Chain A
Amino acid sequence: MKSKQKTVIALKNISKIYEGPPQVKAIDKLTLEIQEGDLVSIVGQSGSGKSTLLNMIGLLDTVTEGTVEIEGQDISNLSDNELSKFRGEKIGFIFQSFFLLPGLTAQENVAEGLLYQGIKREERLKKAAEVLEDVGLGDRITHQPTELSGGQQQRVAIARALVQDPAFILADEPTGNLDKESGMNILNILKELNKQGKTVVMITHNQEHAKKFKKVITLTDGKIVA
């Protein structure tokens, strides 16, 4: 599979073993390349290792075997600080349960996305308001998470992932807690972001949602089967 696209992430023969008891091989000698501008969904039953795979891709977890390269750089020797910096600058995370911080407004939650970038608070809040506008929540910026619907909360979470302008969006079951309509809405946002040039990787157990993406990877027992 030769292409002129840049490889963003390359997983080479990786395994992830959780030392038991019982010992679990969550990822089994898996090799995967994600190119710049890809729109990938990873599907699989629960327990198939999709979340573990996403954590590897997102540098939230380390591999037991194999190498992970980001933009050509082997990350196995990176320090915690460097990994954190990578996550903060290059990767935007979207979680199934939104993971908004309670007690903060939508705007403040989104602004948190820039907290560790050394940007001034006023600047962060200003940028957050802009991104919330982009995801269609311009009129909700002072609302607390509890005052928003699930779909709106997920859009706030997307805004938080986008505010640092990452090249790479990782979404872990982003539609899992949403009704059909809100779910479709979120999928459309992700597709739109891909059109704007972002690389998007989503994991889901919903085949129907997965099929809407250009590339579908099916995972079973920690191996790519399709």
Chain B
Amino acid sequence: MKQRLKIKDLFFVALYGVRARRGRAALTSIGIGIGIAAIVAVTGISASGRADLLATLESLGTNLIKASPQAGFFGTQEKLPDGVVGMVERIGPVEEVTSTTQADLIVRRSDFISQFEGGGISTIVTSPELHQVVGGNLIEGRFIQDGLSNIPVTVLGSVTASRLGINTLETPTKILIGDEWFGVVGILDELKIHPDLDRSVFIGYGVAKTLFDIDKEPTTIYVRANPSYIEDVVEVIAPSMNPENPDQVQVSRPSDALEAQEAADAAFTNLLLGLGSVALLVGGVAIANVMVMSVLERRMEIGVRRSIGATRKEIRYQFLLESIVLSGIGGLVGVFLGTGITLGYTNYTDIVFSIPVSQVLGAILLALLIGAISGVYPAIKASKIQPAEAVRK
């Protein structure tokens, strides 16, 4: 026989039960709401973190390789031969190469500070290309522009700048490197994947040779390569630099560290997702519970509906849909709540906001599914009530 109760009417009927007991409906949906909010927030925050990481990696590049000799037997900084840059440059997919030389020079704000109190700031001798290869923005001024000039100018890493208390270059500023005064021409923004560079000052090879007699013997080289061949480049870079003892060259990708950290966060995310699922399960049981009670309370309504022509099936659909509506309300509230939490978190930590639409839809579907499952037993119970029983005085 044709279904006479129209779908739209079925919705009205299902909503009737919810509207007639608003307070109870709200309390019943809370469990689902909390569960969905937790899931949306956790996936949202995780996705935002991921999106932020990708944005960071995008700007920094995952195709950057850093290579340096293993520390010597006594922890001394080994040097690479001058020709190493040229050797690496000849590897096919390599796009850019630059080198730095670690200089053993103390950095001080002024000569009032003892020359034994360096404050953990390293001096890095480099060429202008470094800025381009490692990426990064300047907060102030410019990078070293002519690496071979003899003019004593320097650029500060972000941590260095704050340690030395230099926030602006509006007035000409000088610092002491070794025993020589250097004019500060630029301050770098935080480099994120190069914390060592953040704690450094940069000077050119020319002035390093003139003032400190430092030769262009690199201690670290930075390489940008075609991202498609990055693994291959990592493979061959050590043998190219030191064909005799390739294992003495340490090759790393700074972006790997960030990804590893993210992977560790993922484990924590899964734990929270598990907790959210438990909340959903409890919420589903709560809905089933309340619906069963509701069926017992509403015998009269069931009796009336049966007497005005409702079939068992129509009663079953009514209670099933009511359960789905209850859970769906919880799900919707949960999605808003979870999105709000994510928005708050991303604002607070200043990272990119990102919630995948598929996950929001998935969360709502999950809520509806739980409502459907929770509603099956109460709905069957309601449909089995004998009409005569239901209208008994």
Give residues in A with beta carbon < 8 Å to B.
51-52, 55, 58, 60-61, 80-82, 84-85, 87-89, 91, 93, 95-97, 99, 101-104, 112-113, 115-118, 120-121, 160, 164, 172-173
Contact = CB atoms under 8 A, between A and B. Distances in A.
Nearest to A118: B4
B111 interface: no
Given A51-B393, A121-B12, A101 B304 contact: yes
B309 A85 contact: yes
A97 B393 contact: yes
B264 interface: no
Residue among A51, A96, A97, A116 having the largest count of chain B Cβ atoms under 10 Å: A116
Contacts of A52: 388
B308 A87 contact: yes
Nearest to A103: B20
Given A61-B388, A118-B5, 9 more contacts: A55-B387, A60-B303, A61-B386, A85-B309, A91-B307, A112-B304, A112-B305, A115-B305, A117-B4
Specify which of A84, A87, A91, A93 lies most central, judged by the most chain B CB atoms within 10 Å of its CB. A84
Nearest to B9: A115
B13 interface: yes
Given A58-B307, A60-B306, A101 B386 contact: no
B312 A80 contact: yes
Contacts of A160: 308
A55 B12 contact: no
Contacts of A112: 304-305, 308
B16 A87 contact: no
A155 B271 CA distance: 60
Q: What 9 pairs between A and B have smallest CB-CB spacing? A: A88-B309, A61-B388, A116-B309, A103-B20, A118-B4, A55-B388, A60-B387, A84-B311, A60-B388
Nearest to B312: A80
Contacts of A87: 306-309, 387
A115 B388 contact: no
A112 B314 CA distance: 14
B19 interface: yes
Contacts of A95: 304, 391, 393
B310 interface: yes
Contacts of A61: 386-388
B307 A103 contact: no
16 contacts: A60-B387, A80-B311, A80-B312, A84-B311, A84-B312, A85-B309, A85-B311, A91-B307, A97-B300, A103-B19, A112-B304, A113-B308, A116-B309, A118-B2, A121-B8, A172-B393
B309 A121 contact: no
Given A61-B386, A101-B304, A82 B1 contact: yes
Contacts of A172: 391, 393
Contacts of A58: 307
B301 interface: yes
A19 B369 CA distance: 40
Nearest to B309: A88
B313 interface: yes
Nearest to B391: A95
Given A85-B1, A116-B5, A118-B5, A101 B306 contact: no
B382 to A, nearest CB: 14
Residue among A58, A99, A117 with most chain B CB within 10 A: A99
Contacts of A88: 308-310
B100 to A, nearest CB: 77
A84 B5 contact: no
Given A115-B13, A118-B6, A121-B12, A101 B301 contact: yes
A84 B8 contact: no
A39 B330 CA distance: 52
Contacts of A101: 16, 20, 301, 304
B311 A60 contact: no
Contacts of A164: 308-309
Contacts of B314: 84, 116
B307 A93 contact: yes
B312 to A, nearest CB: 5
B309 A89 contact: yes
Interface in B346-393: 386-388, 391-393
A67 B314 CA distance: 27
